[in-house]
Every structure is written in C-alpha cells, then in structure tokens.
Amino acid sequence: MRHRIAALDDDAAIRRLLENMLTAQGFDVRCAASIAEFEQMQRDGPADLYLIDVGLPDGSGLAVVRELRQQGAAGVILLTGRGAETDQVVGLELGADDYVVKPFRGRELIARINAVLSRRVKAPKAQSPDATNHDFDGYRVCLQARSVHAPDGTELALTGAEFDLLSAFLRRRGEVMTRDQLVHLIKGREWELHDRAVDGLVSRLRRKLPPSRDRGPYIRTIHGVGYVFKD
C-alpha cells in the first residue's frame, strides 16, 4: 500500500522538491501552499503523514499541527527554519513526531518519514503480544500493537514520540536517565533535540498518566540529572 503524504509549505521550490523526491520513493504526495489550500486538500481524505511548515502566509503551521493531533493518529513532521528552537519545542509539545530543519538533506527527510511511519504502523492482532506486554499499576502497554490501556480499559491517545518515551521508561524502570539517554532510547540514533523539547515531551506524557494516589507521579524529576520511572 502506498503511503499518502501531505505537505504544507509556501515555498514553491520546496513543494516541487518534496513532490519529486517523495514520488520517486513511491509515496502518494499532495502539496499545498497555504492553510486555506491545505484545508481544501484535506476534503479528499486524510494522509498517513504530514509535513508542515511553521511559517505560512495565512497563519501558523503550529495551529495546523494542533488541529491534526486532535483529529487522529497520523504522523506529523515539522519543517522549521534553522535556529527556530522555540517553534521546534512548541511543535513537539503540541504532538509533532519529529522536525526537520530547512534546508534539509533528502536522505535525512526520507529516513525520518520512514521512521515515523514505521512507529505508527500497528502489528497485526494475530500476533501474540504477551511477550511484549508491560503492566504497571493497572495500565497495560503492548509494544507490538503500540497501545496503552488505562485501568478502566480505555485506550490512551499517545503520539508516536510519547509512546516511544513511555516504552523507554518501561525498559529502564527504576533507572535514572539523562535527557541524552532518553533521546538515544527513543530515536536509536543521533537526534538534535533540545533539553526543553525533552522536558515538554515528558510533561505531555505525565498529563496522560495521572499520578497514582498512593505513590505520586510515575515519572519523577531527578534535579540536575534527568528522570526516573517509578510504578
């Protein structure tokens, strides 16, 4: 099945580059130059992954990210200017899975797209998830299905990055980890992620895992060092 990618960027040269490069990789690509054009394009159906420029002529790409995250579980990668740390941090806090700094290298963008898509594809339910289940305080986490169920049975809506962070904590539960260690466990490779972005990702996950009445928050801050998961 061809993955559908929707790109929103007001730079015509970048749109042409994205369309040519991603089509050559076998993706079904659609491009828009403005939020209004993007909204019109969305009426043809959702994409599997979105590439969203932050600076747009008729609004902020960050608002588009917020809306996409409220709508569903499609992947989102920000396209940001070099040195736009604030946009990167806010975008990740809103639920973007990754970001790429312009001007970007084609191979890097393709690698990040494939990584986000692979994290968001759930394993077939026919596979037995028992060997990869992690239980804590009534929660059940299935790594194969990439799902988290609360004690009342409801499934939590986690972004790809949030799920990867929780998985990293569960693999190293009880172990204090620095931000650099968390980035390595989440991405498995070098990733230019600022400390504030890591803190924002942890904060988002904390909000979706309310503190235990008996033991307090599951993710605890170790000042001057990093974080630890206690269940």
Which residue in this structure is represented by tokens 């084609």? 106
Cα–Cα distance between 50 and 65 in angstroms, integer? 9
Q: Where are the domains of the chain?
A: 4-120, 130-229
**CB count in 10 Å sphere of residue 171:** 12
Superfamily of domain 4-120: Response regulator (3.40.50.2300)
**CB count in 10 Å sphere of residue 153:** 8
User: Cα–Cα distances in Å, from 36 out to 10, 81, 176?
Assistant: 12, 22, 46
Could you tell me which CATH number the domain at 130-229 has? 1.10.10.10
Asked if 4-120 and 130-229 have one fold, the answer is no
Residues paired with 102 in a beta bridge: 81
Which residue in this structure is represented by tokens 């963008």? 109
Cα–Cα distance between 148 and 156 in angstroms, integer? 6
pLDDT at 217 over 60: yes
Whether the model pTM is above 0.85: no
For 149-169, what is each residue's pLDDT tens digit? 988 889 998 877 788 889 889
Average pLDDT over residues 5-31: 95
Confidence of residue 124 (pLDDT cuts 50, 70, 90): very low
More confident residue, 87 or 153: 153
